[in-house]
Amino acid sequence: MLHRACRAVCTVAVATVISIALAVPVSAQPDLSGEAERIALLTGPGSINATDARFNIYGTDIGTMWRNEQGRVLAAFGDTFGPNRSDWRSNTLARSSDATLADGMSFDGFVTDRPGHAKELVPSRKIDNVEMATIPTGGVNVAGRDHMAYMSVKHFGSAGRWTTNHSAIAYSDDGGQNWVTAPGTRRPNTAGFDDPFQMVSYVRRDGYVYMFGTPNGRFGDARVARVAENALLDRGAYEYWTGPSGWQPGNGRDATPIIPGPVGELSVQYNESLQAWVMMYLDESAGAITMRVGATPTGPWSPEFVVATGQAFPSLYGGYIHPASDGQDIYFTMSEFRSYNVSLMKVRLPFNLVATVTNQIPPEPPGSLIPDLP
């Protein structure tokens, strides 16, 4: 995104303990306080993929990922540039069959429109206060068709704040080479720019696609909806979590928050080994990428714990879980505004979960887990 990333620099190491069913005593559980390590730079000059020389990608961000029907990982990037901010593309797409992430994620290639040039998938007008960009936020493959959610950005404001025209779903039936926006999937924003599903992340499970959403920007609450996987492009088929009333149809504006804000650039995965839901997002107020673990898509969710801090990575944002993450080892992409490129990161969860955490995660305690910064 063209948007200035979070300015806050975390000046404290925040250690939290997640009180769920453990294979070790709570007293022996180590702390997690922003211990993510950089595995490799994925994009830009000096990256392991040499995207500058191979695809005219000198700078980009985001890198939200999903698997296609062949099991390859597709990684969708946001605003992408050639040298000196030339050759602006609002989105690009890499393919990767790399199964060994310990040394980084190698790209088989990008979707291109000519040799050596990564293609813009969903065009944007690039006019301020009309449409600045069409930024991917999540993706999922259903029945061989790739679906990519994106937001139409109207205006980039101050740090962590932007407004959108709508969110929508584009789909591809040819492996990501060509994309078509399904008109019926457009979710117009409200007059107050607070529609709760302008930025969405997908998880496909048990016949449903779960859609986790936030409003535009990085300060809103997170909510969740679900839809039968064969009805993903039908807005009328969605059900929204409303708390005591359960799953209900509607437009999503009555959905109950499952995580209080600030939640930015949300990514969610079902972790098969842990048999739990793992959520990652940017906490702009703390200047940190954080995680939670959930028993179900609607919760209860663990307290927030810090994965990567602004102290270690001063202009960090994003935080998108790699589909190959399983068990305690979580790989994710992280963007940095200063270099305006994407790295593969890794964090090892410092506890062992039993086979299931269903109904064993306590509610979040009152009060912030992150101290106010001076």
Q: Residue 232: CA atoms inside 13 Å, Cβ hemisphere, count?
A: 29
- Spell out the long-range contacts of 201-207 with Cβ–Cβ below 8 A and sequence spacing 24 or more: 201/64, 201/137, 201/138, 201/149, 201/266, 201/267, 201/268, 202/66, 202/138, 202/139, 202/140, 202/147, 202/149, 203/140, 203/268, 203/269, 203/270, 203/277, 203/297, 204/140, 204/141, 204/142, 204/229, 205/270
| pLDDT above 60 for 339 | yes
The CATH number that applies at residue 255 is 2.115.10.20
What confidence tier does 222 reach under pLDDT thresholds 50, 70, 90? Answer: very high
Residue span of the structural domain in which 149 resides:
26-348
Contact 281/260 with Cβ under 8 angstroms? no
Name beta bridge partners: 180.
171
Q: What are the tokens at 368?
A: 């912030």
If you average pLDDT over residues 203-215, what whole number do you get? 98
Q: What are the tokens at 57?
A: 């990608």
Q: Tell whether 118 is covered by a domain.
A: yes
Q: Tell whether 1 is covered by a domain.
A: no
Q: What are the tokens at 53?
A: 């020389």
If you average pLDDT over residues 113-141, what whole number do you get? 98
Rounded-to-integer distance, Cα 263 and Cα 342, Å = 20
**Residue 324: its H or E element:** none
Q: Tell whether 4 is covered by a domain.
A: no
Q: Tell whether 38 is covered by a domain.
A: yes
Contact 343/61 with Cβ under 8 angstroms? no
The predicted pLDDT at position 104 comes to 97
Angle at 141 between CA 136 and CA 146, to 5 degrees: 60
- The DSSP symbol for 239 reads E
Mean pLDDT taken over the chain = 86
The predicted pLDDT at position 265 comes to 97
pLDDT tens digits, 151-197? 999 999 988 999 999 999 999 999 999 999 999 999 999 999 999 99
The predicted pLDDT at position 359 comes to 46
Rounded-to-integer distance, Cα 81 and Cα 248, Å = 42
The predicted pLDDT at position 109 comes to 98
| pLDDT above 50 for 314 | yes
Q: Tell whether 316 is covered by a domain.
A: yes
Q: Tell whether 190 is covered by a domain.
A: yes
Structural domain count of the chain: 1
Q: Tell whether 361 is covered by a domain.
A: no
Q: Tell whether 374 is covered by a domain.
A: no
